[in-house]
Amino acid sequence: MVNHSQTVFDVTASTYDKDRARLIPGHDRFYGWAVGLIPADARRILDLGAGSGGLTALVRKAFPEAQIHLLDFSAPMLELANQRLGDDAGVTYEVGDYTRAKLPKGLDAIVSALSIHHLDDADKPQLFVRAHEALKPGGVFLNADQVLGPTPELEARYKALWLAQVRENGATEQQIRDSLYRQQEDRCATVEQQLQWMRDAGFADADCWFKDNRFAVMAGTKAA
Ligand SMILES: C[S@@+](CC[C@H](N)C(=O)[O-])C[C@H]1O[C@@H](n2cnc3c(N)ncnc32)[C@H](O)[C@@H]1O
């Protein structure tokens, strides 16, 4: 199946930020867990699929001394990140596909939010291997993402619950339609499968630290 994720984000970049808070039930706790799992002494951080910089801005606030590199294949999304983060010598931007781009080495943390579920399943474990290689010993890989229900029944319940949650959150029918349009490009994998791929890649303590319906925060450490 052809992957149209880049086009989808290029086209919907302008509405993405406005929609985000309403379309991610448990938004603050989800992102809070993602930032909270980064080692306190992290100085070199890579954000995979940084998009409009929603996660990056929180990381920046918690790690004002860190060098943060944003990698994303949608130039319009990175442009929004640049507007959000402003003039900051500690922040660098790269337009590129992270399944192919050379990742910086010796990183303290690799973070990613709501992005890796756009990859085909064959590409996810390869990315986890490359993330493991790019980290320093003791470095952390953190993936805050949408996951697949472990059974078709649970997947159907995830969908129904998400619709009820976002309507309760005040999402408009247009916002829901835009989100469903983006979701055409989703290729979610289960938590169990992703933790196994992380362990196979060499992560010592892969675990899921937070989960609210299909929104999960998974992390693993490269052994010191
Ligand atoms: C839903 S947005 C999330 C943005 C941001 N991380 C956040 O939490 O708000 C997903 C981002 O991943 C990017 N993306 C998806 N697949 C990618 C790939 N293979 N290489 C680079 N960027 C990718 C998209 O362009 C998009 O900006």
| DSSP letter assigned to residue 222 | B
Pick from 9, 12, 116 the residue to mutate for probing ligand 1's pocket: most ligand atoms within 8 Å of its CB.
Answer: 9
pTM assigned to the model: 0.93
User: Which pLDDT value is given to residue 178?
Assistant: 86
- Whole-number Å distance, alpha carbon 99 to ligand 1 midpoint, is 12
CA–CA dist 82, 126 (Å, integer): 29
Number of separate domains in the chain: 1
Low-confidence ranges of the chain (pLDDT < 70): 1-5, 8-18
92 in Cβ contact with 67 (< 8 Å): yes
* 3-state SS, residue 70: strand
- CATH, residue 14: 3.40.50.150
Which atom of ligand 1 lies nearest, measured to the CA of 99? 19
- Whole-number Å distance, alpha carbon 153 to ligand 1 midpoint, is 28
> What domain range is 205 assigned to?
5-221
Which residue in this structure is represented by tokens 């979701």?
A: 183
Which residue in this structure is represented by tokens 């949408």?
A: 146
- Whole-number Å distance, alpha carbon 9 to ligand 1 midpoint, is 8
Residue list, ligand 1 pocket, CB within 6 Å: 5-6, 9, 49-52, 54-55, 72-74, 77, 97-99, 113-115, 118
Closest CA to 9 of 100, 88, 74, 99: 74
87 contact partners, CB below 8 Å, separation of at least 6: none
CA–CA dist 52, 50 (Å, integer): 6
pLDDT digits (tens, 9 = 90+) for 71-127: 999 999 999 999 999 999 999 999 999 999 999 999 999 999 999 999 999 999 999
